[in-house]
Every structure is written in structure tokens, then in C-alpha cells.
A and B are shown apart, each in its own frame.
Chain A
Amino acid sequence: MVLLLLILIPLITGILSFAVKGDGAKALALISSILTLGVSAYVSGANYTAPITYNHDWIPILGTQLSFVADGMSSMLCLLTGIVVMVVMISSVNKNVESPGAFYGFLLLSQAGLMGVFLAYDALVFYVFWELALIPVYFLCSRWGGEKRIQVTFKFFIYTFVGSLMMLAGLIYLSMQTQGLSSYSWPDIVRAGASLPPATQQWLFWLIFIAFAIKMPIFPFHTWQPDTYEQSPTPVTIILSALMVKMGLYAVLRWLLPVLPSGVAYWSDTVIILSVIGIIYASCIAIVQTDMKRLVAYSSIAHMGLMCAVAFSHSNIGMHGVMVQMFNHGITITGMWLIISMVENRWGTRDMTKLGGMATSAPNMAIAFVIISLASIALPLTNGFIGEFMLFNGLFSGTESNHVTMTVIAGLGIILGAVYTLNMIQKTAYGSTVKMTIAKDLSMNEYLGLAIIVILIIFLGVYPKPLLDLTSGIAGMIVK
């Protein structure tokens, strides 16, 4: 029941929100997000004894059940969703959008979709939520985004829709192979997939993987991403980059690696090479960007590329690292977008060549910015370090043919990451002071939002044990 609450709270408040006028919607969204965070914290806490499950009949003739399970990985991502959405709501308190009822309604609906994706234990339920998370985001970007929003969002939507349809075909095929009556439940799908002959698994792999590759996104399926991030309003960019892309990675861990072991073994070299190309390619492009939003968008491709490469490296510690890093990346990049939106708000531009001197004109903001940036380049004692360490350890100890070479090349990504991130700090926080159009350091709610992020960054950097404990044991389930 409690798992159902995770989906129902945002769903119901989201629908209600459409009817609310003015600031009421903001308050409703904030309350809803705090409630959801509370429930997801409870779910994560309860996970130490036994995962919470929920089962209910849905369409028996299709062999599908409304089935949810919150094991370590799922509850961790629900917690991340809870935190990020709440931070988004807190930092939007002093922002005004056109028709707030619909705006916050769509945000909450997308949260409901995300929760469903992370909890689903039945392939068809998973697919349904996978699509449902996308629709609200489509409306959010197309209505409240930048000037090129309609074409850009359309491209994004069609891209992901093609992927999901391919995945649907794959899932139907898999459910046909289950024993007895067709079934979509996770254990049945895993059993059916693993028993398929390797040749079948090899083509089925792409049918399913392409949806996840587009969502993450992995080079060369990433072309929708920078434009969409750039054109979306900041709350939506946060939902997209901190949570939605995690859907792709989560789906790889849950619905691909255990399901098609031979297919994965056959293609993992290819995927790792693509991911590593993506890391270097995106990092190089990030270096020459002048727009902060585009820079962070490309850096996100690089970070996701590393996680994806490690996910395919068949190592236990690497897999654990991927889960930890999913959480950390979500936290860090949320902070990053918040800072960028504050910069845009105060200076009226995101162009780094026209910025400078944040450290003197808005010192608190600059401090938060520096901490978040350091977490982004994985400095020790920030949350990024532990995850990245485990990732590289995993990639290095993996079973792939070129794992050492790949680790070295991927390692270049760290250096390049430091180059563009520090460059960004230098240009915006230091240098000659550019006058702000709205001269103000952090306001109360911005302070609170950034404080949550910064505290999490430092706490998890110094004492990552709770996060590691939450996801321990799951890696063993994925890599046999």
C-alpha cells in the first residue's frame, strides 16, 4: 500500500493542481512533494529489513499484474526523486510562471510517472509508466520552454517514442517465451530471457536497449539532449537530467542486464566503446561552449557515458558504483541547474563571456557554486568521489577485452571534466565584476534549496555508508 502512495500522492495532487488558481498550486505542489519525500524516506528505511512489495490483479488475460517492489535500488531512486522534486519546488517558491496550476500539475504528474518506473516489477506496468513520465514533460517543455521549444521538444518526444515502441515489441516477445501462460512479472521475464538461445538474445538486445540508449543518452543517440535541456524551463531541465536519464540507466540494470545475459555479453564491448567515445566527445564539446546550460548538458552526457560503460563491465563493485553514482549525479546536477537559473535570473544571460565576479557580488551563491562544481569533478570528500572511484575500479577490473585501454581513455574524461568545470567557475565567479540586473545574493528559499544540496554533497562525501548499504546486495542480483 505504501508503495502505491508514492505514485498516488503526486498523481492526485497533480490532477487537483490543474483546478487550482494562482499561488495555491505552488503551495499544493510543495506540500505534495514533502509528503512524497517523507513516504520515500520511510520506504528506504524499511528496506533494511525486507523490501516492501505490492501486488494486485490488473489484466489477468494478458498475464500482467499491478506489481511494485522497492528493493535497494528502487527505493534509492525514489528517494532521489523525492529529494530532487522537493528542491525544485522549494526553489520555485519565488518564481512566477504562466498558468501555475497546469505547470505544477504536470511536474507532479511526471513525478508520479517516474516513481512508477522505478518501482514497477511487471514489464507492462513498467512500459506504461515509462511513457506516462514522458507526456507531462512534453507539455512542460513545449509550453514553458525557450523560443525554439516546439521543434526541439517534438524531436525529443519522437526520438524517445520510437525507442519505447521498440522496447514494447521486445517485451511482448519476451513475455511470449515465459513458461505456461504468458507473464510479464520480472522473475518470469528474467527466466524467459536467460533461457533464449544466444543468437536470439543478440538481436533482442538492440530492440530493448535502444529505448534506454536514447533516454540516457548514449552516443550516437544523444542529439536530442543538449537542445532539449537548453530550451526547457529550469525545473523541467532538472527533472530531465537528474531523474529522467536515470530511468534509462535504471532500466538497463533492471530490465536488460539480468534479462539477456548472453546478448549483453556479446554486445557489451560495443556499448562500452560507444560510451567511452561519448565521454570524450561530449567533454571536448563542453570545453568550447560559452552557454552555461549547454556546457552542463554536455557534461551530463559525459557522466552518463561513464556510468553506462561501467554498467556493461560485469563487475560487482562497478555495478555498486553505478547505483551510488546515479544518486550522486542526480544531486549534483540539480545544484548545478539551480545555480545556472539563479545566474540567468540575476545577470539576464547564461553566456559565460558576459559574466564574472560572482564571488564579490553574490558570495554565498559563489560558495555553493564552487562546492557543487567540485562535486561534479569528483574531488575527494564530495559525494562524487566515492561513486567515481568505484566506477573506475569497476571498469578496470571488468572482464572486457580492452578494459585497461578503456579505463585510461575514460580517465581522460576526468581531466577534461576538470578543464571545463573549472573554466566555468573561473569565468563566472571570478574575473572582472559584471553588474547584476537584480542585485541580490541568495533569497531565503534559494538558500534552503542550495543548502539541502550542499549538505548532501558533503555528508555523502564524508560518510557514504548509508547510501552504500542501501544498494549493497543488489549488484549481486544483476551480475551473476
Chain B
Amino acid sequence: MKAIIATTVFGIIMMFAGIVVNNKKSVASIAALLFIALLGVNIWDLLTTSANAPQLLYGNMLRVEHYSLWFNTLMTGCSVLYVLLMGKEIQKVGSHVAEYFALIFFILCGLYILSTYNNLLMLFIGIEILSIPQYILAGSDKRNLKSSEASLKYFLMGAFSTGILLMGIALLYGAARTFNIMDMVGILHSDALNPLALAGIMFIMIALSFKVSAAPMHMWTPDVYDGAPTPFTAYMATVVKASAFFAFLRLFQVSFNSLSEHWTIILAIITAATLLVGNVTAVFQQSVKRMLAYSSIAQAGFMLFAVLAVNQFAWQGIIIYAVAYSVATIGIFSVLVKLKDYTYDGFNGLAKKEPLLAFTASIFLFSLAGIPLTGGFMAKYYVLLAVVQQGHLLWLVIFALLMAAISVYYYFRVIIAMYFKTGTPEFNSPITMGDKVMLMVTCILVFLLGIFPQIFLYHV
């Protein structure tokens, strides 16, 4: 796991780069290069690790499976895409550009730990490393009251949920006498189950539901996503959320698999509630940014399907969903961030003025809505497949499909505004050739995910 070390070092380099280099633009370029280097390190990790036997590292604290490395690589790839698409906008958020990039490197460090942890303590540490930089990023637009509110709210809620997580871990330790998630499998049996363990599992489930913004623990999400500077919202809603899901799945798939009869129904209810709240509330939003916040809750409902389905498809499901959802959401945010007005009316007539921007935005929205041939369809398909395979949650599948139909309503409102309404959208900055090229690349990725998903599941 050279990537963990590399990302930490890169983060520190970025912090110093902020002192040495004064020009925002060069800082952003250095960051982009370092991100690409980090992707290289991840690929190096992937190639030098044996595909068959998991590798135990750092005194059994981390267990490195091949699919975890693959997940890391893909998420780092998404981060590269993110930095290339959003670099210019990140520079505009405030004056401490280098620090923002450094914080993103630290978030990735947390991500790498969360995808490979073998010990509940590492889960806790991973989540903290992942969360704390986000609290800062959410409040990075210091003069803006909403941004400060977002940061504080996020911090308080995050700290609260971490407390619950620790409580759960402690209870679980009481029952299993170990922090090691593999050893737990042998100790926690369904027949002679310590009630402490059940309580622990519930606490952990609630805490992780906070992190992935599942209802009814989602209350912080809209305000935080809406208040945080848009480029950072894009990152929080995608890569960060996906990694929390991966951690969620890892624990419940590996350690609590044999106990699934005890927690499936509760998680199923959480899933249904998440889908309902996310989709129905998104319909009533007037701001596209806030709509995307609710839509990220709705999409979380679909990702929870992977956790619910305790089978092999779940890994494929979560990985393809994480990538497809991240790529499309980063894409739509990078269009949104160009506009002055974040309401639906701000999109009016975009197709006339910037046809390429409107076209790519439509493709990203199609993907989020799950239209075939886009990544979003394959992602939804995989998680549904996983649950149908598992057999007894068919009611939830049908419910989810109805909710997916509702989601078409609010995603297509943006398309209607762009194509069928007249208006003159105003931009924050002129759209350059580079932006267009990057958007096209993202668009091609969306199609690639939808037509040849097997490429992205190569190592699963």
C-alpha cells in the first residue's frame, strides 16, 4: 500500500507548495500533476499485489484485497477527473488554494484506509481522516454565512455520529473480544448471540448511515451540500460518499454476513425511507444544487442495495455504482459551477448558447436517471441484480423502480430548461476549449461505463 504513504506525502508537499508558490494557477497545476502521480502509484500497487491471496499489512491492521486496490484506483481516477474539471473553480473559492488540494489528498488517505481496514479501530480512524478535511472544506468560503453554517452543522453532526460509531465498536468488542473484523466472523454466531453484539451492530449501522446520508439520518445533507462551496460539494457527494459505502459494505459483508437475518429488515426499511425521502423531496426543490443534494440521498438509497445483498454481486454493484455515479455527478456539478444562477431558470436556453455544455449535461442527467447505454443504467442494474439474486426483497426492488421513475421528473426538468425554454444563461467565467474537451472525455466515460461495464469490473 504505497498509495497511503504517497497521498500523505503529496498532501504535505501541497501544504508547503502554498508557501513557496504564490501563483494560484501553478499551485493547481502542481496539484493536478500530483493527482496523476497518485493514480500511477495506485496502479503500481495494483500490479504488484497478487490477485489471489489478500495481503495483511501493519500488524494485521489492514487487509489488502485485489478489489479494494481496484476500488482505490478507480476512485483516484475519479479524483483526477474531478481536479481536471474543477481545478479552475477550486482556485476561486478562496485564497488558500494549496491547502484545499492538500485536504483532498488527506481525504484520499482516509479512503484508502476505509477500503482495506481489517480492524474496527482502523474503520474509526479512516472515517475521521475522511471527515475532518471535509469539515474544513465545507467552511472554506469563510465570508459566506451559509458555508460557515454548513461547516459547523457538518462538524456537529459528524462528531455526534462518530460518537455513536465508537459506542457501537465498544459494545461489539464486549461481545466478540476482538477488533479484528475477520476474527469476528468465527465468534459471532446466530445461535448463541450476545445481545451486546446486536446492539453494537445497530449502533454501527446508524453511525454509518449518518456518513452515507441515509434517511432518517440524512438531515444534515441538504444544508451542508447546499452551503458548501460547489466544487467541494461535488467531491463530498461522490468520491467521499462512495468510500463510506465501501466501508459499510465491507463490514456488513465480511463480519456480519452470517447475522444478516437480524439486520436485513432494518436496513431494508432505511433503504426504502432513503429512496422515498430523497426522491420525493428532490421534486420540490427550486435550486438545482439543492436538488442534486437530495438526489445524492436518493442515489445513496440505491447504493444501500449493495449492502443489503450479501452476495458476490454486491462488490461489483458498489464499485460500478460508485464510479458511474461519481463520474456523472462530478460532470453535472462541473456544468452547474459554471453558471451564475443555480435555480432551474438559470439553465433556461443553455442549449442555444452552449450546445456542448447542454449536451454533456443531458448525458450526465440521463446517467443519473438510469437511461440505458449510460453508466447509471448499468450501475442500477447491477445493484438490482444483486438484490433480486438474494431473493426475498422483491418488494423493495419494485419500490425502488417506482422511485427511479420519480427521479426522472427532477432530472428532466433541467433538460427541459436547457432545451425547451428560452433565456440567456450567465456564466461565471467564459467556457474554454479545455473545459469542453474535459466534459467530452467525461461524457465518453459515461458511455463506456454503460456499454462496456466489464472494463471497470476487471479486478472484481
Chain A residues within 8 Å of B, Cβ to Cβ: 59-62, 127-128, 131-132, 135, 139, 142-143, 149-150, 154, 157-158, 161-162, 165-166, 168-169, 172-173, 176, 207
By beta carbon, the residue of chain B nearest A149 is B420
Give Cα A143 to B351, complex, Å: 12
By a CB distance below 8 angstroms, the chain A residues around B44 are none
Asked if B166 lies at the interface with its beta carbon under 8 angstroms from chain A, I say no
Residue in A59, A139, A158, A169 whose beta carbon sits within 8 Å of that of B398 in the complex = A169
7 shortest interchain CB distances as A-B pairs? A165-B401, A128-B372, A162-B405, A131-B372, A172-B388, A142-B420, A161-B405
Q: Are A166 and B401 in contact (CB under 8 A)?
A: yes
B408 touches A157 (CB 8 A): yes
Query: Are the C-beta atoms of B405 and A158 separated by less than 8 Å?
Result: yes
The answer to whether A59 and B420 touch across the interface, beta carbons within 8 angstroms, is: no
Residues of A within 8 A of B419 (CB): 139, 142-143
B217 touches A (CB below 8 Å): no
Q: Which residues of B contact A173 (CB under 8 A)?
A: 388, 394
Chain A residues contacting B385 (CB-CB under 8 Å) are 62, 172
11 A–B pairs (Cβ distance < 8 Å), ordered by A: A60-B454, A61-B454, A61-B457, A62-B385, A132-B372, A165-B402, A166-B398, A168-B401, A169-B397, A169-B398, A172-B385
Nearest CB on A from B290, distance (A): 21
Q: Is B132 an interface residue (CB 8 A)?
A: no
Q: In the complex, which of the residues A154, A157, A161, A176 has the most CB atoms of chain B within 10 Å of its own CB atom?
A: A161
- Residue B249 interfacial (CB < 8 Å): no
Chain A residues with Cβ under 8 A from B401's Cβ? 162, 165-166, 168-169
Residues of B within 8 A of A165 (CB): 401-402, 404-405
A401 to chain B, nearest CB (A): 31
Q: Is the CB of A143 within 8 A of B405?
A: no
Q: Which of A59, A61, A131, A142 contacts B371 (CB 8 A)?
A: A131
Q: Is B453 an interface residue (CB 8 A)?
A: yes
Q: Which of B397, B402, B405, B408 has the most CB of A within 10 A?
A: B405
B199 proximity list for chain A (CB < 8 A):
none
Q: Is B373 close to A, CB under 8 A?
A: yes
Say how far B314's CB is from chain A's closest CB, in angstroms: 14
- Residues from chain A with a CB closer than 8 A to the CB of B185 are none
Q: How far is the CA of A207 from the CA of B389 in the complex (A)?
A: 17
Q: Are A176 and B388 in touch, CB under 8 angstroms?
A: yes
Q: Give CA–CA (A378, B334) in the complex, Å.
A: 57
The reply to whether the CB of B167 lies closer than 8 angstroms to some CB of chain A is: no
The A-B contact count (CB < 8 A) is 62
Cβ of B15 within 8 Å of any chain A Cβ, yes or no, is no
A161 to B366, CA, bound (A): 12
Closest Cβ of chain A to B323, distance in Å, is 16
A431 to chain B, nearest CB (A): 39
In angstroms, Cα B370 to Cα A161, docked, is 10
A60 to B452, CA, bound (A): 10
Docked-complex contact B408 and A161, CB < 8 angstroms: yes
A166 to B403 CA separation, bound complex (whole angstroms): 11
B43 contacts partner chain A, Cβ-Cβ < 8 Å: no
Give the interface SS of chain B, mostly helix, strand, loop or mixed.
Answer: helix
Beta-carbon contact of A176 and B402 below 8 Å: no
B409 touches A172 (CB 8 A): no
B416: Cβ under 8 A from any A Cβ: yes
List 7 other contacts, CB 8 Å, given A59-B453, A169-B384: A62-B385, A131-B371, A132-B373, A142-B416, A142-B420, A157-B412, A168-B381
In contact, B373 and A128 (Cβ under 8 angstroms): yes
> Which residue of B388, B416, B457 is within 8 Å of A150 (Cβ)?
B416
Given contact pairs A60-B454, A172-B385, A173-B388, A162 touches B402 in the complex (Cβ within 8 A)? yes
Smallest CB gap from B371: residue in A = A131
- Of the candidates B373, B394, B420, the one whose C-beta lies within 8 Å of that of A143 is B420
Q: Shortest distance in angstroms between A294's beta carbon and chain B's nearest beta carbon? A: 23
Partner of B454, one of A59, A154, A158, A176: A59
Instruction: Chain A residues near B454: list those with CB within 8 A.
Output: 59-61
Q: Separation in Å of the A268 CB from the closest CB of chain B?
A: 23
**How distant is the Cα of A60 from the Cα of B454 in the complex, in angstroms?**
8
Q: Which residues of B contact A59 (CB under 8 A)?
A: 452-454
Q: Which residues of B contact A162 (CB under 8 A)?
A: 401-402, 405
Q: Mark B431-460, 1 if CB is under 8 A from A, else 0.
A: 000000000000000000000111001000
- Evaluate contact between B420 and A172: CB separation under 8 angstroms: no
Q: CA separation between A161 and B388, bound complex, in Å?
A: 20
- The answer to whether A169 and B409 touch (CB under 8 A), given A59-B453, A154-B416, is no
Quick one: closest A residue to B366, CB to CB?
A: A135
A139 and B418 CA atoms in complex are apart in Å by: 12
Q: Least Cβ distance of B258 to chain A in Å?
A: 23
1/0 per position for B364-388, CB-CB distance to A under 8 A?
0010000111000000010011001
Cα–Cα, bound, A142→B415 (Å)? 11
B409, A158: Cβ atoms under 8 Å? yes
How far, in angstroms, from A65 to B385 measured CA to CA in the complex? 17
Query: A169 CA to B305 CA in the complex, in Å?
Result: 14
Complex Cα spacing A140 to B156, Å: 49
Residues of chain B with a CB closer than 8 A to A158's CB: 405, 408-409
Compute how far the CA of A127 lies from the CA of B373 in the bound complex, rounded to whole angstroms. Answer: 11
Minimal beta-carbon separation of B409 from chain A (angstroms): 6
Which of A149, A154, A165 is the most central at the interface, judged by chain B CB atoms within 10 Å of its CB?
Answer: A165
A132 to B377, CA, bound (A): 12
Cα of A316 to Cα of B419 in the assembled complex, Å: 48
- Nearest-neighbor residue (CB-CB) of A127 within chain B: B372
Q: Which residues of chain B have C-beta atoms less than 8 A from A62's C-beta?
A: 385
Q: How far is the CA of A207 from the CA of B384 in the complex (A)?
A: 15
What residues of A have a CB within 8 angstroms of the CB of B381 in the complex? 168, 172
**Considering only CB atoms, which chain B residue lies closest to A159 in the complex?**
B405
In chain A, what residue has the closest Cβ to B457?
A61
A115 CB to closest chain B CB (Å) equals: 15
For chain B, residues 393 to 432, give those with C-beta under 8 angstroms from any C-beta of chain A: 394, 397-398, 401-402, 404-405, 408-409, 412, 416, 419-420
Cβ–Cβ < 8 Å partners of B408 in chain A: 157-158, 161
Give chain A nearest CB distance to B301 CB in angstroms.
15
Chain A residues contacting B384 (CB-CB under 8 Å) are 168-169, 172
- List, in ascending order, chain B residues with CB within 8 A of A135's CB: 366, 371
Cα distance A173–B412 when bound, in Å? 28
> Complex: how many Å from CA A410 to CA B366?
42
Closest A-chain residue to B421, C-beta based?
A150
Residues on B with C-beta less than 8 A from A128 are: 372-373
**In the complex, what's the smallest C-beta–C-beta distance from A226 to chain B, in angstroms?**
21
Contacts of A161 in B (CB 8 A): 405, 408
Tell me the complex Cα distance, A139–B362, Å: 11
